[in-house]
Amino acid sequence: MASCLRQQTTICDVLKKKQQLLQLDSLAWQDVDAPLSVGDHEAMTFTYDEACDFIIKHFSAFPKLTAFTKHALENRWVEAEDRNDKRPGGYCTSLPEFDESRIFMTFTGSASDTSTLAHELGHAFHSDVLTDVPYLNQHYAMNVAETASTFAETIIANATVQSARSDEEKLSLLNNKLEGATAMFMNIHARFIFEDNFYKARKNGVVSHEQLSKLMTVAQKEAFHGALNTYHPHFWSSKLHFFIDDVPFYNFPYTFGYLFSLGIYAEYLKQPKNFEEKYIALLKDTGAMTVEDLAMKHLGVDVTNVDFWAEGVKLMAKDVDQFIALADQLENN
């Protein structure tokens, strides 16, 4: 597509490279999130206690986040046992009566589960900083709901990549990070296109399941830039979000939140000194301001200008470049 945006082009490159590394003729829908193991290396693993220590250590540039995390972990706010019949993933809920949160997740010992634990702790931290603002200002909109979680996850995902003991391990960890970017720019984008087209079609009457599957495939092909050889026509039936009928477009806030959080992270990298105070002040206002006002008041940046978003995308593009370079190097060895 001539109008292919840079981030989509580069993620297409990642998918192409992944296909080569997996030694496949073409990439199918289910291969997008396939683990990548090149060469002879043992995947980075953590016991639950090691993951907690790793997170506390790497949050250290943010003393309040660190103190909060220690408190949450020491007081056993997290139920992370990996047991039969418990599904993967993570979830955080706040308990407003007690000014506390609880995290429910399955920790299998992988680096990506360590990032998930950090993500959920980020949600809990967001709730915690809001406890001392008036109750009616504590409820933030979906577009900023993933700000603190993605920020915390980014700190830890970067730390795992930096802790890699070999190039093979680094490639696998970068793959984990880029799976997140692929989900945000392609999978979530497909959901948005699908939903947009669904509402247009619904104006003309009931949309049959055959039409829904067709709309889904068309949306996925567009969002993935035709990079796959098979798609998932029934995705509309398996994704819970489409059935939450009082919240239309339960998709774009993920990509928006991811980009907003990456933009904030880029600001942090520019001026790390005393950044946490600004960051917490921003989180405290998430239930009371538009994103435009939040970013201007607390970071002095204009989110209506493309530069703010481009700074965040550049961080992701760096991962892409590193992934491609490492993959080329390992292929040539």
Pick the closer one to Zn ion by CB: 138 or 149.
Answer: 149
Q: How far apart are alpha carbons 304 and 307 in whole angstroms?
A: 9
Minimum distance between the CB of residue 150 and Zn ion, rounded to whole angstroms?
A: 7
Residue 134 CB coordination number (10 Å)? 9
Binding piece for Zn ion, criterion CB under 5 A, among 77-85, 147-155, 200-208, 227-235? 147-155
Q: Binding residues for Zn ion, how many (CB under 5 A)?
A: 1
Q: Which residues pair with 172 in a beta bridge?
A: none
Q: Which residues pair with 102 in a beta bridge?
A: 93
Q: How far apart are alpha carbons 123 and 107 in whole angstroms?
A: 17
Minimum distance between the CB of residue 283 and Zn ion, rounded to whole angstroms?
A: 14
Pick the closer one to Zn ion by CB: 121 or 327.
Answer: 121
197 scored as a contact of Zn ion (CB under 5 A):
no
Pick the closer one to Zn ion by CB: 92 or 161.
Answer: 92
CA angle 89, 157, 268 (to 5 degrees): 120
Binding piece for Zn ion, criterion CB under 5 A, among 4-12, 145-153, 195-203, 206-214? 145-153
Residue 275 CB coordination number (10 Å)? 18
Q: Yes or no: say if 43 and 168 are a contact pair by the CB < 8 Å rule.
A: no
94 scored as a contact of Zn ion (CB under 5 A):
no
Minimum distance between the CB of residue 122 and Zn ion, rounded to whole angstroms?
A: 8
Pick the closer one to Zn ion by CB: 120 or 168.
Answer: 120
Q: How far apart are alpha carbons 53 and 60 in whole angstroms?
A: 11
Binding piece for Zn ion, criterion CB under 5 A, among 23-31, 143-151, 217-225, 278-286? 143-151
Pick the closer one to Zn ion by CB: 8 or 149.
Answer: 149
Binding piece for Zn ion, criterion CB under 5 A, among 62-70, 142-150, 239-247, 260-268? 142-150
Q: What stretches of the chain show up as alpha helix (H) in DSSP? A: 6-21, 48-58, 63-74, 111-129, 147-162, 167-182, 188-202, 209-223, 235-238, 252-270, 275-284, 291-299, 306-332
Q: Yes or no: say if 113 and 107 are a contact pair by the CB < 8 Å rule.
A: yes
Pick the closer one to Zn ion by CB: 144 or 216.
Answer: 144
Minimum distance between the CB of residue 77 and Zn ion, rounded to whole angstroms?
A: 16
Binding piece for Zn ion, criterion CB under 5 A, among 59-67, 72-80, 148-156, 221-229? 148-156
> Structure tokens of 79?
């139920």
Pick the closer one to Zn ion by CB: 112 or 149.
Answer: 149
Q: How far apart are alpha carbons 120 and 122 in whole angstroms?
A: 5
8 scored as a contact of Zn ion (CB under 5 A):
no
101 scored as a contact of Zn ion (CB under 5 A):
no
Binding piece for Zn ion, criterion CB under 5 A, among 130-138, 144-152, 169-177, 240-248? 144-152
Minimum distance between the CB of residue 254 and Zn ion, rounded to whole angstroms?
A: 8
Interface residue with Zn ion, options 10, 69, 115, 149 (CB under 5 A): 149
Minimum distance between the CB of residue 105 and Zn ion, rounded to whole angstroms?
A: 11
Query: DSSP letter string over 220-283?
Result: HHHHTTT--S---TTHHHH-GGGG-TTSS--SHHHHHHHHHHHHHHHHHHH--TTHHHHHHHHH
Q: Which residue is nearest to Zn ion (CB)?
A: 149
Pick the closer one to Zn ion by CB: 149 or 187.
Answer: 149
Q: Yes or no: say if 131 and 107 are a contact pair by the CB < 8 Å rule.
A: no
Which residues contribute to the site for Zn ion (CB under 5 A)? 149
